[in-house]
Amino acid sequence: MAATTATTPPTPTDMPAVRPTRRRLSLGRAAAWTVMGLIVLITLLPFYWILRTALSTNAGLGADPANPLPVDLTTSGFERALGLQSAEEAIAQGGTGGGLDFWRYLVNSVIVSTLITGCQIFFSAMAAYAFARLRWRGRDQVFGLFLAGLMVPTIFTLLPNFVLIKQLHLVDSLLGIALPSLFMTPFAIFFLRQFFMNIPHEVEEAAFLDGAGKVRIFFRVILPMASTRILTLAVLTYITSWNDYFWPLMVSYSDGSRVLTVALAIFRAQTPATGVDWSGLTAATLIAALPMLVLFAASARRIVSSIGFTGIK
Amino acid sequence: MTIASSSPPFRRRGDGVLAAVFIAPAMLGFLVFLLWPTLRGVYLSFTRFNLLTPAEWVGLDNYVRMVNDPIFWDSLGVTVEYVILNIGVQTVAALAIAVLLQRLTQSALLRGIVLTPYLMSNVVAGLVWLWILDTQLGIGNEIIGALGVDRIPFLADETWAIPTIALINVWRHVGYTALLLFAGLQAIPNDVYEAARVDGASEWRMFWRVTLPLLRPVLAVVLIMTVIGSFQVFDTVAVTTAGGPANATNVLQFYIYGSAFGRFQFGYASAMSVALLVVLSAITVLQYRLTRAGRSDLG
pLDDT of A25 over the 90 cut: no
Q: Choose the weakest-confidence range: B89-98, B189-198, B249-258.
A: B189-198
pLDDT at A183 over 90: yes
Q: What distance in Å separates the CA atoms of residue A233 and residue A308, rounded to the nearest whole number?
A: 11
Q: Are B149 and B263 in contact (CB under 8 A)?
A: no
pLDDT, tens digit, 9 for 90 and up, residues B233-248: 999 999 899 888 888 9
Domains of chain B: 38-291 (1.10.3720.10)
Evaluate if residue A11 carries a pLDDT over 70: no
Distance in Å, alpha carbon of A85 to nearest chain B alpha carbon: 22
**Does A309 sit within 8 Å of B44, measured CB to CB?**
no
The pLDDT of B156-176, averaged and rounded, is: 94
Beta bridge pairs of residue B47:
B57
- Residue B27 clears pLDDT 90, i.e. is over it: yes
The answer, yes or no, to whether residue B10 has pLDDT greater than 80, is no
Q: Looking at residues B256-265, what average pLDDT do you find? A: 91
Q: Which residue of A46, A129, A312 is in closest CB contact with B22?
A: A129
- State the Cα–Cα distance between residues B100 and B178, nearest whole angstrom: 10
A44, B116: Cβ pair inside 8 Å? yes
Any residues with CB less than 8 A from the CB of A93 and at least 6 apart, and which? A57, A58, A76, A80, A85, A277, A279, A280
Q: Tell me what pLDDT residue A23 has.
A: 53
Measured between beta carbons, the chain B residues lying within 8 angstroms of A20 are 102-106
Whole-number Å distance between alpha carbons of A279 and A76: 8
Mean pLDDT of chain A: 83
Q: Do B115 and A156 touch (CB under 8 A)?
A: no
Mean pLDDT of A137-141: 92
The SS3 assignment for B57 reads strand
- Mean pLDDT, range A60-65, rounded to an integer: 80
Helix (H, G, I), strand (E, B) or coil at B62: helix
Distances from the Cα of B169 to the Cαs of A28, A114, B221, in angstroms? 30, 26, 19
pLDDT exceeds cutoff 90 at B221: no
With CA atoms as reference, report the closest residue to B120 among A53, A201, A295. Answer: A295
**A71, A68, A218: which is closest to A131 by C-alpha?**
A218
What does the pLDDT read at residue B246? 87
Residue B3, pLDDT > 50, answer no
Burial B200-238 (b: 16+ CB within 10 A, else e): ebebeebbeebbeebbbbbbbbbbbbbbbbbbbbbbbbb
A259-274: per-residue pLDDT in tens? 999 999 888 888 776 6
Contacts of B179 in chain A (CB under 8 A): 304, 307
pLDDT tens string A102-126: 888 999 999 999 999 999 999 999 9
pLDDT at A12 > cutoff 50: no
The reported pTM is: 0.86
Return the pLDDT at A224.
92
Going by C-alpha positions, the residue among A225, A237, A279 that lies closest to residue A121 is A237
In whole angstroms, what is the distance from residue A77 CA to residue A35 CA? 35
Tell me which of B4-18, B71-85, B167-181 is least confident. Answer: B4-18
pLDDT-derived band at A41, boundaries 50, 70, 90 = very high
The residue among B101, B123, B289 with the most chain A CBs within 10 A of its CB, best to mutate, is B123
Question: What confidence category does residue A213 fall into, taking pLDDT thresholds of 50, 70 and 90?
Answer: confident
The per-residue pLDDT for B141 is: 86
- The contacts found for A226-230 with CB under 8 angstroms, 24 or more apart, are A226/A125, A226/A192, A226/A195, A226/A196, A228/A13, A228/A302, A228/A306, A229/A191, A229/A192, A229/A195, A229/A306, A230/A121, A230/A125, A230/A192
pLDDT in tens, A147-169: 888 878 787 888 899 999 999 99
Q: What is the pLDDT of residue B296?
A: 52
B6: exposed, middle or buried (C-beta count within 10 Å: 0-12, 13-18, 19+)?
A: exposed
Average pLDDT over residues A218-238: 91
Interchain CB distance below 8 Å, B118 and A35 = no
**What b-and-e string marks burial along A113-126, b requiring 16 or more CB atoms within 10 Å of the CB?**
bebbbebbbebbbb
For residue A18, pLDDT over 90 is answered with: no
- Measured between alpha carbons, how far is A223 from A205 in angstroms, rounded to an integer? 16
pLDDT band of residue B163 (cuts 50, 70, 90) is very high
What pLDDT is recorded for position A5? Answer: 37
Evaluate if residue A310 carries a pLDDT over 90: no
SS (H, E, C) chain A: CHHHHHCCCCCHHHCCCCCCCCCCCCHHHHHHHHHHHHHHHHHHHHHHHHHHHHCCCHHHHHHCCCCCCCCCCCCHHHHHHCCCCCHHHHHHCCCCCCCCCHHHHHHHHHHHHHHHHHHHHHHHHHHHHHHHHCCCCCHHHHHHHHHHHHHCCHHHHHHHHHHHHHHCCCCCCHHHHHHHHCCCCHHHHHHHHHHHHCCCHHHHHHHHHCCCCHHHHHHHHHHHHCHHHHHHHHHHHHHHHHHCCHHHHHHCCCHHHCCHHHHHHHHHHHCCCCCCCHHHHHHHHHHHHHHHHHHHHHHHHHHHHHCCHHHHC
* Helix, coil or strand: residue B279: helix
Facing A304 at nearest CB: one of B30, B115, B273 = B115
Q: What are the pLDDT digits (tens) for B69-102?
A: 999 999 999 999 999 999 999 999 999 999 999 8
pLDDT of residue B6: 43
pLDDT, mean over chain B? 88
**A:B CB pairs within 8 Å:** 312
Is pLDDT at A132 greater than 90 in this prediction? yes
